[in-house]
Amino acid sequence: MSKDKTDPVLPPHRSGAIENPDLPLNPYSDKQQSWPGLAEKMDPQPDHGEESYKGRDRLAGKRALVTGGDSGIGRATAIAFAREGADVAIAYHPNDESDARTVVRLIEAEGRKAVALPADLSVEDAARKVADDAVKQLGGLEVLVLNAGMQQAQKSIADITSKQFDDTMKTNIYAHFWITQQVLPHLKKGASIIITSSVNAYSPSKELFDYAQTKAANKAFAQALAKQLAADGIRVNAVAPGPFWTPIQVSGGQPKKDLPQFGSDSPLGRAGQPVEIAPIYVLLASDEASYITGECYAATGGSGTG
């Protein structure tokens, strides 16, 4: 039976190309926001697992700090952790307070403790205080997710200001170093550190010159620190996302012209939703991953990391 032209179009994050070859795979809005961006203002709304993620108590009794936990991959991770039985502290930029409050409500709805920690992590004192406050308010820490990041696309290296370069390095590299150094004395055998790298660590985008360098550094962070901490029974791993529909993309992370078709060049033909990568963070945080360290897990929609 032929498809009636009046039938409803599939939601934007699903592929409707097979049923209707004229329908764009990712009809996203090209409306941009100022950095760091709010998930609640995105069109369409990303799926962080608010309704779709189902937990199985894989993190029961654990306490986690997730940086960048207000939106995007960090938000999906925080929701998943709470549904898996963990208490969760989220660090986030003060401009993202409204998104953060939503996450706090979702964590508390699972009967878990939620700690909100607004801070500019590019400032050393603020980053170290986030680490201290998370440990103090949660009563300890078993899982550290270093996810906060800055991404600003520029056509040429000549367009990158020293301030942008400095902000990107401090947010994506320095902050992770400061927080880890501050938290480490409180981590015990069985703890897990997870850092968000990127497909850009393997295949850098020409428009993400500075960002790609930080993501390569994040991958090296996991691989080097894993060797340092193996004898202590602390695991360190990285996750390398491909194109995911998050506020970082609409707040300068992608050129405006590329937003409507963002992710459509991946083999799966679409961008990923944050909830689709959260299970990797759950695995790496769980005791099920007791023999996994120094690895970088990719979720690229089929693009690979070669």
Residue 291 annotated to the active site:
no
Kindly name the residue from 28, 53, 202, 211 that is annotated as catalytic. 211
Length of the chain in terms of residues written? 306
Measured between alpha carbons, how far is residue 303 from residues 9, 27, 266, 267 in Å? 27, 21, 6, 6
34-63 core/surface letters (b: 16 or more CB in 10 A; e: else) = ebbbbbeebeeebbbbbeebebeebbeebb
C-alpha span between 83 and 205 (Å, rounded):
35
Catalytic machinery residues: 211
